[in-house]
Amino acid sequence: MTPTASITPAKKASENLENVYVYPSLYNAVSGVRGISFKNLTGRVNIRIYNLKGEIVHLFDGSTPAGEYFWDIEGQRRKNRISPGIYLSLIHISS
């Protein structure tokens, strides 16, 4: 009998991110919302958040055992206060 190796294919990124959602999609501190929530994350994630100028305004790299991450915008120092508006997030999930 000749041994053979088998490889179990990893999930495609699209399958890992298929159910991820982020809210609110338009941040506005006046609404009373303290930050932005990321839900249905799996495993270890790297989240980069950019403003519309392409500048990184927030980084997170860590595990999300509950599948959630909350970016507490209101808890940031005064000099790094985030303006109301639209932000782009890049989410990378590693196994």
pLDDT digits (tens, 9 = 90+) for 43-58: 889 999 998 899 998 9
Assign 2 to helix, strand or coil: coil
* Distance in angstroms (rounded) separating the CA atoms of residues 44 and 95: 7
* Distance in angstroms (rounded) separating the CA atoms of residues 84 and 22: 16
Enter the pTM of the model.
0.73
* Distance in angstroms (rounded) separating the CA atoms of residues 4 and 23: 47
* Distance in angstroms (rounded) separating the CA atoms of residues 78 and 80: 5
The answer on pLDDT for 94 being more than 60 is: yes
Tokens 């994350």 label which residue?
41
